[in-house]
Structure 1
């Protein structure tokens, strides 16, 4: 069961780019949660998948220091963290998350997850379960912040 969780229930087996497939699947599921169950449930789901990711990876990566590309539970956690930013903004407006917000969260998350700047790269280099999970959580945080900044620029708030 832990392997299935780490594989994102099979998304990590898709090629090419299992991390991108994991992120895309996370976006779809996150949007469904936000739309039908609401933002508070997405927050709880993000916390739950993060804890589940740490737990499942600790079982699967005993002694390993690398991040197997097929393990995408970390991408799901990071992508949902990024998605929380636009989802929160729309929740405050009592609306379902709109098109540009989730696309920006996805694109920024993939950018930071692949590029691995600053704390993302440091976490990635630390290895082990903590490194595998925290690099994606940092990427998600940076992606969420970048999404809010991009929205502010697009809507003239930060000009």
Structure 2
């Protein structure tokens, strides 16, 4: 197996941390999202999501080629991508309003909790993607869980700010 694929798939070895490597992958995504946002705002975080998705898809394919388990727990790059997607509404709001993204710390907590909830529960299309049993499915279930979490963050923000 390619060393590069292993480094990408396990997010520099975070996937080997036990227990709950998916949760650790989601947690490590938080400071990286903050750094990407500080360095380049919403546009850089969006580019990072796309780049990490395609690199993760490749790495997952390499790591699972010929294996019985299509989604081994040490692959956590999918959690990073999904968590970053869940944080996109916060990044956009901070970037467009010129405020610190950390001001919205309750949104960070909501994004983390909602993403983990949808990633573990796997409702509807999240479960469909997971059942694909291929490298694309490994990535897509977390992308969809991230989109659900992002929508949840938007709804909670709307409720909190009296927009809804």
- TM over 0.5, shorter chain: yes
What is the CA-CA distance between 1:144 and the residue it aligns to? 0.3
In structure 2, the residue matched to 1:11 is: 14
In the aligned structure 2, how far is the partner of 1:69 from the partner of 1:58? 14
In structure 1, the residue matched to 2:26 is: 23
What is the CA-CA distance between 1:96 and the residue it aligns to? 2.2
Pick aligned residue for 2:81 from 77, 82, 102? 77
In the aligned structure 2, how far is the partner of 1:138 from the partner of 1:39? 19
TM-score normalised to the size of structure 1? 0.95
Q: How many residues align?
A: 158
In the aligned structure 1, how far is the partner of 2:38 from the partner of 2:106? 15
What is the CA-CA distance between 1:28 and the residue it aligns to? 1.2
Q: Does residue 33 of the first structure (1) align with residue 36 of the second (2)? A: yes
In structure 2, the residue matched to 1:118 is: 124
Q: Does residue 90 of the first structure (1) align with residue 90 of the second (2)? A: no
In structure 1, the residue matched to 2:113 is: 107
- Native 8 Å contact 1:108 1:146 kept in 2: yes
What is the CA-CA distance between 1:99 and the residue it aligns to? 0.7
- Native 8 Å contact 1:26 1:80 kept in 2: yes
- Give me the CA root mean square deviation: 1.1
TM-score normalised to the size of structure 2? 0.92
Moved over 2 A (4+): 63-66
In the aligned structure 2, how far is the partner of 1:55 from the partner of 1:89? 31
Q: Does residue 127 of the first structure (1) align with residue 130 of the second (2)? A: no
- Native 8 Å contact 2:42 2:95 kept in 1: yes
Q: Does residue 144 of the first structure (1) align with residue 150 of the second (2)? A: yes
What is the CA-CA distance between 1:156 and the residue it aligns to? 1.1
In the aligned structure 2, how far is the partner of 1:36 from the partner of 1:128? 34
Runs (5+) with no aligned partner, structure 1:
none
